[in-house]
Amino acid sequence: MMRFVLAMLVALFAGSFGALAQDQAPLHITITDGVIEPLPFAIAGFIPETPDATDVAAQLTQVVSSDLTGTGLFREIAKSAYIQNITNFDTPVNYSDWQAINAQALVVGSVAMSGGKVVVKFRLFDVFSGQQMGEGQQLAASPGSWRRLAHKVSDVIYSRITGEGPYFDSRVVFVSETGPKNARQKRLAVMDYDGANVTYLTDASTIVLAPRFSRDGTRVLYTTFETGFPRIKMLDVATASARLLPDVPGTMTFAPRFSPDGNKVVYSLEQNGNTDLWMMDIASGQTQRLTTSPSIETSPSFSPDGSRIVFESDRSGTQQLYIMSAGGGDATRISFGDGRYSTPVWSPRGDMIAFTKQNSGRFHIGVMRTDGSEERLLTSSFLDEGPTWSPNGRVIMFTRETPGAQGEAALYSVDISGRNLKKVPTPGPASDPAWSPLLP
Amino acid sequence: MNFATKAALAVAILGLAACSNPDKYGSGATGPGGTLGPAGAGITQGGINDPNSPAYFSQTIGDMVHFSVDQSTLSDTARGILTQQASWLVSHPSYTAIIEGHADEQGTREYNLALGARRANAAQEFLVSQGVAGNRLRTVSYGKERPLAICSTEECYAKNRRAVTVISQSAAGS
């Protein structure tokens, strides 16, 4: 269904255009800073080098611009302000022309159609230091994957300037919703992180909930009511074929998540009204009970090294967050603020836990350190829930639902600094996003 | 299969479910305000005054009990309704029941599934304590996925925090 043929060639250019050594600190944004003035940049190109590359060059320029400005960290300078007209990829950059319009970063790129592939070359310049940032790169892909090429280019630019890991070349699996609030129809869908290339993975014949990617991005676990009861299903993203995981009759199973190695699933199993956490080995179907408490234990999430699990439990009387060993046993409570804490998700960097918090009739998405310190609420609304991390651990996507009979769910994203809250475009109402890892 | 065909198929499946099981998400789902709508009226055998009819069970006795915020404890009212449900089920052994637990929207999705299961289980245990054989009962939770009332105030939330006893005639029955 989604077969990306992305042959990537990384060629190195000797990018020495007589760097004028100026008294400037190297270009850099630290994205954890509280308030940031977006960094002005210019894209001179991507210049089409073959006539049949004109359209894709324009589209690719648009996507790179949209990736960068969409972070809230960058502001694109209008092309009408450009002084130097760069018409060739190898034209030397006249830094003073770009300094004059206060472009701090400059991207010069080109696109050619060659051997049935789209070939992109680009260089990034630190205008005020008067030098190229990193080496020039060349990437190639089949024409159908031009958006991925654009995201790869954006990822390189973003990473070089921020020092953070890339995340634009990634996908999001989510639940697409239609119909009235009391008869909602739900389908699994997957799309690029920016809402492009939506593909539906299931039909609307039954309720589906809370999909989650494996760390390699090839499989998705989700909860389905297709048997009439909540059951866990594992789907192969490439073929959209899926199978129910084995269960015990008379129980409900839900809230699945892959172990980092992809071999196990941690999930909730309800029996006689009591919900506990269990682990299943996918290959053998063998299960192991992790908690034995009369309270509700659900929404488990592994640490990136697979050694620990963060989950929510109401064993104290209200929903709170706990961490235990991946083998089960004693758990340590990490949330202590006012209100109820739920849906914890371990950051891919390992340093933070994202969560949902309910307090005084409002819902929040927040983050805290894994020991519960430095709690920070990033959002507030009638109903925000279910955070998922970008592959670089710097952005969180979640579900926001509006109140009332006409209430609808939508996907939103926000920086872990609480900045740049925005709606993620989807074809209609949507919920339960789960971000993939960075694509290969 | 194109989108239009898929959509038509989905509607057909839903329509089928509505016909074979009007009380799938509680009797209110068949019509506004909790009254039995046309879909349910069309297949119900016997009226609400016929003590042997499913309509009597769902309407006259009441197939639904309600819960406080974030609670699964049965109120006296709920116990009263469940006592009558149990007595009907004991005298109509050809019926089995699925007890659906539901939550209002003031909670996260997975917690609400677990909370709905607690509510369904509380109702089931009470029915068993009143003499209904446990093997005639099953529970399921819909969490907050199938609200009966769709406003976002306590008036609606109170209706949505429910356990619904959905009866059906078992294949082996009369």
What are the boundaries of each domain within chain B? 46-169
Residue type, B156: C
End-to-end CA distance of chain A: 17
Span A235-240, average pLDDT: 94
Look at residue B11 and tell me whether its pLDDT is greater than 80: no
Minimum mean pLDDT range among A50-59, A230-239, B23-32: B23-32
Which pLDDT score is estimated for A36?
73
Which pLDDT score is estimated for B153?
96
Span A346-364, average pLDDT: 97
Which alpha helices (H) appear in A101-247, and where do they start and end?
146-162
Please report, for chain A, the start and end positions of each structural domain, with discontinuous segments joined by +.
39-162, 171-435
CB contact under 8 A, A252 and B147: no
Which pLDDT score is estimated for B36?
38
CB contact under 8 A, B114 and A272: no
Reduced to 3 states, what is the DSSP secondary structure of residue B49? coil
Contacts of B14 in chain A (CB under 8 A): 183, 185
Contacts of A314 in chain B (CB under 8 A): 111
Contacts of A342 in chain B (CB under 8 A): 107-108, 110-111
The pairing of strands A131-132 and A117-126 is antiparallel
Nearest CA-CA distance, residue B117 and chain A, Å: 5
Tell whether B10 is within 8 A of chain A (Cβ). Answer: yes
Q: What span, in angstroms and rounded, lies between the C-alpha atoms of B31 and A104?
A: 62
What's the residue count for chain A? 440
In this prediction, residue B34 has a pLDDT band, given cuts at 50, 70 and 90, of very low
What's the residue count for chain B? 174
In this prediction, residue A37 has a pLDDT band, given cuts at 50, 70 and 90, of confident
Look at residue A221 and tell me whether its pLDDT is greater than 70: yes
Q: Which of A225, A268, A404 is nearest residue B110 as measured by Cβ atoms?
A: A268
CATH number of A171-435: 2.120.10.30
Say what percent of chain B tops pLDDT 70.
72
CA distances from B101 to A248, B14, B160 (A): 19, 20, 10
Look at residue A5 and tell me whether its pLDDT is greater than 90: no
Span A23-34, average pLDDT: 65
Look at residue B91 and tell me whether its pLDDT is greater than 90: yes
CB contact under 8 A, A250 and B138: yes
Q: Which of A182, A223, A299 is nearest residue B148 as measured by Cβ atoms?
A: A182
CATH 3.40.50.300 fits B46-169, yes or no: no
> At which residue do the structure tokens 């890991």 appear?
A165
Q: Which of B109, B117, B121 is nearest residue A385 as measured by Cβ atoms?
A: B109
Which pLDDT score is estimated for B12?
36
CB contact under 8 A, A404 and B125: no
Which pLDDT score is estimated for A398?
98
Which pLDDT score is estimated for A15?
34
CATH number of A39-162: 3.40.50.10070
CB contact under 8 A, A181 and B147: yes
Span A282-303, average pLDDT: 97
Look at residue B38 and tell me whether its pLDDT is greater than 80: no
**Enclosing H/E stretch for A171:** strand A171-178
Spatial contact of A173 and A423, defined as CB atoms under 8 Å apart = no
End-to-end CA distance of chain B: 42
B16 or A248, which is more confident?
A248
ipTM at complex level: 0.91
Give the pLDDT confidence of A112-147 residue by residue, as tens digits: 999 999 999 999 999 999 999 999 999 999 999 999
Spatial contact of B26 and B165, defined as CB atoms under 8 Å apart = no
> At which residue do the structure tokens 């593909």 appear?
A199
The strand order across the sheet containing A185-192 reads A199-200, A185-192, A171-178, A430-435
Burial of residue A181 (number of CB atoms within 10 Å: 0-12, 13-18, 19+) = buried
Which pLDDT score is estimated for A33?
57
Span B79-96, average pLDDT: 98
In this prediction, residue A14 has a pLDDT band, given cuts at 50, 70 and 90, of very low
